Structure 1
Amino acid sequence: MEDTELINLWKAYDKKLDENLVLNRKNAEDITKMKVQSLLNAMKPLKIFTLLAGLLWVGLGGTIISNLFIHAYSNMSKFFLFSAAIQLILTAIALWIYLYQLILIHQIDSSEPIVATQEKLARLKSSTLWAARLLFLQLPVWTTFYWSESGFKNGNSVPIFFQIAVSLAFTFLAIWLFRNIHYKNRDKKWFRLLFEGNEWTPVIRSIGLLNEIEAYRLEAKPDKPLTSPAE
């Protein structure tokens, strides 16, 4: 009789322990999801401002450049026109990425499964890197828009050589950044210097928080079921 009571007490304790573990894990997941939601919501104001400012820039600049292409192409510096056009096109593509990111952030719900949130965060991380790659591709055109045909025909060779050297250096830098901006380089100093801030840090912190929950889930699963003294 005593053995039976002891077994029953052990099973009751075992059941209570399992319930507490499930409850603690659920509470931890809920709190983590709320933190993730808060981190991502903090990104919205900057992204909205950047999107609106970018739309104004592309809209106004696109109107001016298109009119110059149509009505004053023969009288304008081709360096200026094509440099401005490339800059506006790359900015417009980046703005689409920003809009996509805002939609992703809006779709993340604290009540959805962690796997679904992780998938959206992965897309948010990837799109952030792509936006940076595209924006850095603008570097060379910021060094060529002030060039002129007459300057190359009638100018001194020294400043012309200097201008070409600067443009080539910025072109090399833009290509290097485009090729090397990858998540695998996140721990390098130059990467951290470029990506510290509200554009990147909340995403990485959110991913880290969800990874901690996944690790906690694995630790909470015992390799073997608890056994009673009689087994």
Structure 2
Amino acid sequence: MNAPQAPLGSYGPFRNAEVSIYCDESRHEGQSDQKYMVIGGLWLPRGKRQDFLTGLREIQERHKITGELKWGKLSRRCLPAYSEIVSFVAAQSDIHFRCIVVDKSRVNTDKYFQSDRQLGFWVFYWHCLKQWMGNGNTYFISLDFKPESLLSGPRRLRDVLEKECLGRAWVNSLDCVDSKENLFCQIADLLIGAVGYEQNGLSGSESKVAFCKSVASAFGRQNLSGGDQPSRGRFNIFKIWS
């Protein structure tokens, strides 16, 4: 995987820390009527994971949420619980969210990725991660489980990140995990789903529209349809080829 050069650690929120990143993506294949793909992740100090999980599970228990949190399952019944979870996440100053939004209609696979769509997918993953990776940090990266056709990508992605971070930051692990067993990946799915919903101008579900508004409000944004400079913290939406 060859990737364009960019400064390491220009915009990331952490320095000299162990950082866990939980990633997911939305609308990267199919859905031809939705031209924006979203790739993103939840970033947090590794040492605070258990504290965050304790607070999140208290919300789940209070709302009697036993299954996986998932954008595709968002309904009026689970909206209060999902909105409270987002409010909790937004209230934790050490939890950050970053995503990139890609206009699929303007991606020239032949020119930039040797006609390899999978290569293009992983280069965009690289772009999402690298701009926020800071000097002195050690990263533990979790990706939602990928189909067999994409399984070589994480290894290539890790190789590229390690090579570019050499001597300045470290990738301790980059693994695929089952999101059903990882609450942080589930929250990443919710936030990425909300961004993709607004970016694609969708409005067919009252519950999803309300959830998008809850996310924007919790993080002090007017909406989720705009784009940010890479340096904007806490909740960053960076648009590519839009």
| TM-score, normalised with respect to structure 1 | 0.23
| TM-score, normalised with respect to structure 2 | 0.22
Task: Look at both structures and tell me which one has the larger radius of gyration over its CA atoms.
Answer: 1
Query: 1 or 2, which has the higher helix percentage?
Result: 1
Query: 1 or 2, which has the higher strand percentage?
Result: 2
